[in-house]
C-alpha cells in the first residue's frame, strides 16, 4: 500500500520481538538478498500506527523523524529556506560525532552548487555530474572522490507492443547501439558501458550470451531479413519502426535518448523523444506501463537477485518489471537463484537467467553510472567507495572531521 519496491522481498515475512534488543524475521522460504532489504529504516509504531500506509510518504513524521542516527534535526526548511540543519546526537551509540553540525543547503542546478562552493558558502557541492567536471576541476581545494553506484541505465522495450513483441527486432535494435557513444554523450564517459541486467562484479555476471554488436550496415541487413523494408514498414504486418521513447528531462537520460535517436535514424527507425519530470514519468508512464520505450535508471543493489525487475509476476504495478518480460526459463532461474545458498548453485541459476534474457532481449542495458562526490580538501574521514544508494556516501559520518586553524589568544 505504501508503493514500496521492497514489497516483494517482505511478502509473507513474519516479525517477532524476542526481547527488547532482538527482532526475529521468519521468511516463508530462503531469500539470499533479504539482508539487503533490512537496510530500510525502522519506523516508530506509536507515531505512525494511525497513518494509512498509502499516506506514509506525505506524513509530517518525514519532517521531524525519530531515529538513532549520529545527528538529529535542528531545522527542517528545504522548501522555504532551502536548508536542513543537523546537530550532533550526544547519545549516538557509537559515540558523539566529531562534527558539531552537518547542514544541507539546496540549489536548483549543479552549476549553482559549484558557485556556492567557490564562494565558500558550502564545504561540499555534493555530487559532481559529468557535464560539470571541467568546471569543478578549476576550483581551488576541491577533492573528487570517485565512487561506484549500481545504477544500470536501461532502455526498456514494451514487449507487448505491436512491433516490439518481435524479439528478433528487439535484439537487432539493442545490438545496433554503440554504448560507448551513448556513455560519452550522456555523462562524458564517466561510467561503464554494459549490456547485461547484472553488473560486473556481481555473482553470475557474464557476457557470453550477449549477441554480437552490429554495425549500421549489418543492422540494416538484419532488419531486412526480419521483414522490414527500407522505409521501416514491416511487409507482413504493416507495422512501422516508429517509436515514442519516454525519459526524464533535463539531464543525462535525455542526452542519452537523443543519442539513441541519432544512431537509429540511418536504420530507418524513427524515434520521438518525450522528456518529462520525474513525477509525470512515474505516474503517467511507468506505473500504468504507458510507453513503447522507456529510458530509466534502476538500482540493482549489491546482490544479483533481480527478481523484482525481470520476473513475470512483477510485470504490473507495483512490480518493477517495466518491460512486462515473461519467460518461463527466466522465471525458474530467478526463483531458484534467490533461495539457494550455495554460491556455485546460484552462479548456475543466474547463468541460466542471462542465457534466457539475452535470447529474448526485453531491454537494452546501456551503462553503469559512476558517482563523483566533491568536498573541500579540509574534510577528512570519508571512507565510502562502493555505494548501493547515494546516501551511502555518508558511511562513517560520525568520524568525519574538518581541519581547523588554531589561533593563539596571547
Q: What is the mean pLDDT of residues 280-285?
A: 96
> Phi/psi of residue 381, each to 5°?
110, 0
Check if the beta carbon of residue 55 is closer than 8 Å to that of residue 2: no
State pTM to two decimals: 0.81
Alpha-carbon distance 204 to 216, whole Å?
Answer: 31
What is the dihedral sign for C-alpha 324, 327, 328, 331? negative
Range scoring the smallest mean pLDDT among 41-45, 253-257, 328-332, 366-370: 41-45
Range scoring the smallest mean pLDDT among 33-47, 132-146, 279-293, 327-341: 33-47
pLDDT value of position 307: 93
pLDDT top residue among 11 and 399: 399
Q: What is the DSSP letter of 282?
A: I
* pLDDT tens profile 71-112: 999 999 998 999 999 999 999 999 999 999 999 999 998 899
Is residue 236 predicted with pLDDT exceeding 60? no
Alpha-carbon distance 1 to 52, whole Å?
Answer: 8
pLDDT value of position 369: 84
Confidence band for 406, pLDDT divided at 50, 70 and 90? low
Question: For 114-137, b where at least 16 C-beta lie within 10 A, e where not — what string?
Answer: bbbbbeeebebbbbbbbbbeeebe
Amino acid at each position: 500500500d505504501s508503493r514500496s519496491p521492497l514489497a516483494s522481498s517482505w511478502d509473507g515475512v513474519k516479525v517477532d520481538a524476542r526481547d527488547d534488543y532482538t527482532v526475529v524475521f521468519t521468511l516463508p522460504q530462503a531469500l539470499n538478498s533479504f539482508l539487503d532489504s533490512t537496510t530500510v529504516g525502522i519506523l516508530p509504531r506509536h507515531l505512525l500506527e494511525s497513518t494509512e500506509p498509502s499516506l506514509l510518504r506525505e506524513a509530517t513524521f518525514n519532517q521531524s523523524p525519530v531515529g538513532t542516527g549520529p545527528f538529529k534535526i535542528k531545522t527542517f526548511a528545504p522548501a522555504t529556506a532551502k536548508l536542513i540543519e543537523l546537530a550532533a546526537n550526544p547519545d549516538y551509540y557509537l559515540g558523539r560525532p566529531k562534527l558539531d553540525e552537518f547542514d544541507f543547503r539546496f540549489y536548483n542546478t549543479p552549476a549553482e552548487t559549484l558557485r556556492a562552493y567557490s564562494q565558500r558558502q558550502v564545504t561540499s557541492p555534493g555530487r559532481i555530474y559529468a557535464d560539470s567536471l571541467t568546471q569543478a576541476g578549476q576550483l581551488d581545494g576541491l577533492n573528487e572522490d570517485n565512487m561506484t553506484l549500481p545504477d544500470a541505465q536501461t532502455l526498456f522495450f514494451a514487449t507487448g507492443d505491436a512491433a516490439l513483441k518481435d524479439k528478433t527486432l528487439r535484439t537487432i535494435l539493442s545490438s545496433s547501439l554503440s554504448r560507448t557513444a551513448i556513455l560519452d554523450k550522456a555523462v562524458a564517459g564517466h561510467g561503464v558501458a554494459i549490456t547485461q541486467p547484472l553488473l560486473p562484479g556481481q555473482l553470475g555476471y557474464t557476457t557470453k550470451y550477449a549477441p554480437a554488436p552490429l554495425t549500421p550496415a549489418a543492422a540494416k541487413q538484419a532488419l531486412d531479413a526480419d521483414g522490414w523494408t527500407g522505409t521501416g514498414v514491416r511487409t507482413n504486418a504493416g507495422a512501422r519502426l516508429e517509436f515514442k521513447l519516454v525519459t526524464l528531462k533535463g539531464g543525462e537520460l535525455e542526452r542519452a535518448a537523443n543519442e539513441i535517436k541519432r544512431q537509429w535514424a540511418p536504420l530507418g527507425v524513427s524515434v520521438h523523444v518525450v522528456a518529462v519530470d520525474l513525477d509525470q514519468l512515474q505516474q503517467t508512464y511507468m506505473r500504468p506501463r504507458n510507453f513503447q520505450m522507456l529510458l530509466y535508471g534502476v538500482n540493482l543493489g549489491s546482490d544479483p537477485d533481480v527478481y523484482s525487475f525481470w520476473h513475470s509476476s512483477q510485470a504490473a504495478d507495483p512490480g518493477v518489471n517495466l518491460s512486462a518480460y515473461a519467460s518461463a526459463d527466466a522465471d525458474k532461474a530467478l526463483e531458484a537463484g534467490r533461495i539457494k545458498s550455495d554460491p556455485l548453485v546460484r552462479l548456475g541459476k543466474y547463468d541460466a537467467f542471462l542465457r534466457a534474457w539475452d535470447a529474448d532481449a526485453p531491454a537494452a542495458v546501456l551503462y553503469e553510472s559512476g558517482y563523483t562526490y566533491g568536498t573541500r580538501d579540509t574534510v577528512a574521514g570519508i571512507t565510502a567507495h562502493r555505494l548501493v544508494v547515494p546516501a551511502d556516501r555518508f558511511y562513517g559520518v560520525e568520524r568525519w572531521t574538518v581541519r581547523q586553524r588554531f589561533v593563539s589568544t596571547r
